[in-house]
Amino acid sequence: MDKRSFESKDYPSIALRISAAGSIAEFVIFIVYNFFKKCLNQPSPTFLMPKKSAVFLSTDFGRRADAMGRLTTHVLDAAHGCPGSAIKVELYRVEGAQLELVATAITNSDGRCDAPLLQGDDYRSGVYQLQFCAGDYYRGRGVQLPAPAFLDVVVLRFGISAEQDHYHVPLLISPYSYSTYRGS
């Protein structure tokens, strides 16, 4: 593969970054690309994801903070087909039988917390528990719930094993069911 096809044909978004950065960056990226191609007999995964490649090769250290680990969540109201706004969320660190309150937040109009629940020095591997006040949310929307509510506080217990990773734990709720997964 010649240099010209690498720049303009195969990876147009990378080519734009190279031309903006200058000839030294162009040379470095071309060498790295060929290294991965020879080692793996295929393009490097970072070249298949230009956004991640740009963050990795960036000299803007403020942007590199995006690669640091953090915990986020959001709530979707599956019963009404909308974000779960104004839901109280509590995050606990689980130490044996003890729960240590780490953060409390209220979801915004998009069903998300305005900031990560956990990041920086507080973000470490371990077992955590998220608690969502779903019953209060549905009562606030005027939904008639039985007494006691089938789901009042939804509790999700999960582990963080990779401190450099972003853990996103969404919650899909209705008055009688919930679902979660590890998002991205």
Domain boundaries, the chain: 3-65, 69-180
SS3 content of the chain, % helix, strand, coil (to 5): 35, 35, 30
In single-letter form, the type of residue at position 149 comes to A
Helix (H) or strand (E) holding 38: helix 23-40
In single-letter form, the type of residue at position 54 comes to A
Tokens of 115: 């900031």
> Residue 101: is its pLDDT beyond 60?
yes
> Residue 64: is its pLDDT beyond 60?
no
pTM above the 0.85 mark? no
Q: What is the pLDDT of residue 25?
A: 55
Q: What is the pLDDT of residue 179?
A: 98
Q: Give the mean model confidence (pLDDT) for residues 117-142.
A: 97
> Residue 111: is its pLDDT beyond 60?
yes
Class of domain 69-180: mainly beta
Task: Collapse the DSSP code of 145 into the 3-class scheme (helix H, G, I; strand E, B; otherwise coil) and give the result.
Answer: coil
Which pLDDT band, with edges at 50, 70 and 90, does 26 fall under?
A: low
> Residue 23: is its pLDDT beyond 90?
no
Annotated binding site: 74, 112, 181
Q: Which of 12-16, 20-24, 159-163 has the lowest mean pLDDT?
A: 12-16
Annotated binding site for substrate: 74, 112, 181
With beta carbons less than 8 A apart as the criterion, state whether 102 and 129 touch. Answer: no
Helix (H) or strand (E) holding 95: strand 88-95
Q: How far apart are CA 34 and CA 1, in angstroms?
A: 9
